[in-house]
A and B are shown apart, each in its own frame.
Chain A
Amino acid sequence: MTVIDANRMNEIEARYPEYFHRSFRQRFGGLMILIATLLYSLYAVWFFDLPKLFAEAHWERVGIYLSQWVSYDVQPEFRIEDDGSIDIRYPRFSPLGDNPHPDWLVNNPDGSITVSISGTSRTVTVSKSQTIVTAHGISVPVDVSSGAPKVVGPVPGWMTVYDDNVLADLGFAGNVSISVDRVKIRKRFIGWANFIFDTQSSFFDKPVGEVVGLIVSGPRIKPDQSNLSLAFDDIWNNSEWQHGDVWTKLFQTIVMAFLGTLLGSLTAFPLAFLAARNITPNRLLNQILKRFFDFLRSVDMLIWALFLTRAFGPGPLAGSGAIFLTETGTLGKLYSEGLENIDNKPREGIKSTGAQPVLVQRYGIMPQIVPVIVSQTLYQWESNVRGATIIGAVGAGGIGLKLWEAMRTNANWENVAYMVILILIVVFLFDAASNALRHRLMGTKTH
């Protein structure tokens, strides 16, 4: 390795003074911005009281909620009657329907009942005097014959003993709560229950072949309606999943974005010509219109939505109106900037032939600006489909409110997951379609 001697170093230093003798701002400016950002972050941690908030957060809920996105549970309850028999009850609206006879529940010859929580490795056997919980390779009997449930033998780590009940946590598969006169079991299943037919439907809990058979050639279940249309009605009006409502609301969101962007584009287009300083030489008019666009954008979609829901009542009209007003501002700005960036030579050329002003705009500007306009409008439509979910939550129509309500109850996380998946599909489809269209218009290849 060659080593540079001192003379050579001095020579280099003298040759490039701008790299070796830099001003204070050049040398420490970046560092100071970094320190300021760090100090601000510390301030923000204090301002939002993050340590306390994170310490008090219910992190265990993350797992619970996320598992509810992809699973459902059945909660049978076993009551031990005075005569020693065991009465099984399911909650109302149980995903198993009104007449559940699950095969994971076995009546033993001696009158006890064995529930398989997870195959044969995790089971619960309920009898009159004791409940045996088998999990993690051991069987733990819980004695319920006296005043309080009592664990026989050592208490394993996954069991918690309270005054009047014993709770056994069997992980994702479920849990068991044992008290003297009743045993409550929560058994968790992967998947979405009753996604196609709800428990009220005539097709509920029938195998696929039978349902297809009924629809194709079965006798009419309801005399005045064909089975096909009945099946469709049952799916569309599924009371748990509300497919009809969800899809309508999703479509509302798309329509809101479409109407708002289209109307905004139609309004912004002529205004942009007046706002572009190279086309309309009136400076005052340019400025007024540009500030007007700024106003429409900065008052924001949310505020317009809040005002318009008061005017039109909740629904997609208010949402479309809000997007329309915001988009007039956004597209007006984008179009007028696009117009200001065009090449002026074609206009001059057409002017020199003595053409009318309208014709000058038509043939001198339009061919240049149309691809820009269409591409930006498509982009905004796509981004509004994405953004319109939020204004829906304040009542402006679309899927936002449905999402917000499903989350508010803290129980319908599987419905949230369903809607999120639908939204993601729509957004990705729009993304792909608008990209493809834009690249065809701009004459570039998709990447």
Chain B
Amino acid sequence: MTVADTQPHMQSTGDIRTAWERMVARRRFYTILGLVILIAAFVSSVRFADESNAGHFFDRLPHLFDFLSWLIPKDWNDVWRALFDIASVNDKGGEEFNFDKGRVYISGAFYIPEYFELMIVTINVALISTIVAFVFAVPLSFFAARNLTSSWPLRVFTKRLMEFLRAFPEIVIAGLFSAILSIGPVAAIIAITLHTIGALGKLFYEVAENIDMKPHEGMKAVGANWWERVRFAALPQVLPNFTSYALLRLEINVRASTIIGAVGGGGIGEELKLSISRGFGAKTMALVLLLFVTIVAVDQFSAWLRRRLVGEHAFLLQH
């Protein structure tokens, strides 16, 4: 301050300083205001959630781990028995320890245990819906890409269509189709496929909009038509990224197919929901174990394949 007082040319520094201080004060004010709003929203949300819940948070908190004690089996060997459908020594009738019931016999004494069969169903749901969605999302994404499609009504229409497919609640599509096709995994396939078309389509057209346009111009110069340009100039550039996103989506869809299975789509999710609601400890543990191992395996496999395709790449985990 004293320097600024004595030397006239430093006056401007003082101005800068006050301007800077004002700016800091203003930013601080906005930060505090934002925090206050956030805390108020948080507190009222917690109260709202607590009031409309069946059991209240602080009443239930001491019992938080009660359910674990119902779920932890008395005999840990039952987990393995449940997983491989081997008859349990604890079986006294009833469904809790009835492990040899759900076997699927292939030939003679060779069988697939029930839970493995359900897991196969769930993985097939995820795999086929990702494949079908990929087939639909690729052309749609080319129609939506600004640099490849010049007609704006077509572009806007495809983009809105994909947004709609993404936002439409999957559970409604699953419910509608289970009313038409009878309850089963196919309703889940349709629901997941439609959602995946929307989700992949968005990621795909963003990739397609960022391609190098020189090959495209070259093709155009030699008189290639739209299909040829997309096929030989755009597709080779985007295919690694497309495949990589599809693999990422496959991981998400394995989870989605367990979720949607739980609301009547068959597969392992439904069995898990039943098992938890009935308090079958060993069965639940076996199912959770199987799900965990499968999901980690799918994640690792797809991560390995992705690295081979496009190298290390920071991906958003998008729903």
Give the interface of A toward B (CB within 8 A).
37, 40-41, 44, 47-48, 50, 53-54, 56-59, 61-62, 65, 248, 251-252, 255-256, 258-259, 262, 294-295, 298-303, 306-307, 310-318, 320, 330, 333-334, 337, 341, 376, 379, 383-384, 386-387, 389-391, 393-394, 397, 400, 403-404, 407-408, 410, 416, 420, 423-424, 427-428, 431
Q: Does B30 contact A (CB under 8 A)?
A: no
Contact with A along B277-319 (1 / 0, CB 8 A): 1000000000010011001100100000000000000101111
A427 to B168, CA, bound (A): 9
A54 to B171, CA, bound (A): 20
Q: Nearest residue in A to B300 (C-beta to C-beta)?
A: A294
Min CB distance B47 to A, Å, is 10
Q: Given A248-B52, A316-B49, A337-B314 in contact, is the A393-B171 Cβ separation under 8 Å?
A: yes
Query: What are the residues of chain A within 8 A of B185 when measuring CB–CB?
Result: 48
Q: Given A258-B45, A303-B291 in contact, is the A57-B181 Cβ separation under 8 Å?
A: yes
A333 to B295, CA, bound (A): 16
Select A407's contact among B131, B167, B179, B318, beta carbons within 8 Å. B179
Supply 30 A–B pairs (Cβ within 8 Å), ascending by A.
A40-B127, A41-B132, A48-B185, A62-B180, A255-B49, A259-B49, A294-B296, A298-B292, A299-B288, A300-B259, A302-B272, A306-B262, A306-B276, A307-B67, A311-B67, A314-B53, A315-B53, A315-B54, A330-B317, A341-B314, A379-B318, A390-B170, A391-B259, A400-B171, A403-B169, A403-B172, A403-B175, A420-B168, A424-B167, A428-B163
Query: What are the residues of chain A within 8 A of B273 when measuring CB–CB?
Result: 306, 394
A233 to B164, CA, bound (A): 34
A254 to B173, CA, bound (A): 21
A391 to B259, CA, bound (A): 8
Are A310 and B258 in contact, CB atoms less than 8 angstroms apart?
Answer: no
Are A258 and B60 in contact, CB atoms less than 8 angstroms apart?
Answer: no
Are A48 and B167 in contact, CB atoms less than 8 angstroms apart?
Answer: no
Min CB distance A246 to B, Å, is 13
Min CB distance A388 to B, Å, is 10
A259 to B273, CA, bound (A): 24
Q: Does B77 contact A (CB under 8 A)?
A: no
Are B269 and A302 in contact, CB atoms less than 8 angstroms apart?
Answer: yes
Query: What are the residues of chain B within 8 A of A410 when measuring CB–CB?
Result: 179
Min CB distance A440 to B, Å, is 12
Q: Given A404-B171, A431-B167 in contact, is the A317-B314 Cβ separation under 8 Å?
A: no
Q: Does B15 contact A (CB under 8 A)?
A: no
Min CB distance A20 to B, Å, is 17
Q: Nearest residue in A to B146 (C-beta to C-beta)?
A: A447
Q: Does B103 contact A (CB under 8 A)?
A: no
| Interface size counted on chain B using CB atoms at 8 A | 68
Query: What are the residues of chain B within 8 A of A318 when measuring CB–CB?
Result: 53
A393 to B178, CA, bound (A): 15
**A-contacting residues, B253-273, CB 8 Å:** 255, 258-260, 262-263, 269, 272-273
Query: What are the residues of chain B within 8 A of A320 when measuring CB–CB?
Result: 49
Are B259 and A311 in contact, CB atoms less than 8 angstroms apart?
Answer: no
Are A302 and B262 in contact, CB atoms less than 8 angstroms apart?
Answer: yes
Closest 5 CB pairs of A and B: A315-B53, A313-B54, A313-B55, A407-B175, A383-B319
Are A262 and B42 in contact, CB atoms less than 8 angstroms apart?
Answer: yes
A390 to B169, CA, bound (A): 8
Select A393's contact among B163, B182, B263, beta carbons within 8 Å. B263
Query: What are the residues of chain B within 8 A of A294 when measuring CB–CB?
Result: 296, 299
Min CB distance A410 to B, Å, is 6
Are B319 and A387 in contact, CB atoms less than 8 angstroms apart?
Answer: yes
Are A303 and B49 in contact, CB atoms less than 8 angstroms apart?
Answer: no
**A-contacting residues, B143-196, CB 8 Å:** 163-164, 166-172, 175-176, 179-182, 184-186, 189
Min CB distance B65 to A, Å, is 8
**A-contacting residues, B226-264, CB 8 Å:** 255, 258-260, 262-263
Min CB distance B52 to A, Å, is 6
Select A258's contact among B41, B124, B184, B295, beta carbons within 8 Å. B41
Min CB distance A403 to B, Å, is 6
Select A307's contact among B181, B186, B276, beta carbons within 8 Å. B276
Query: What are the residues of chain A within 8 A of B75 when measuring CB–CB?
Result: none
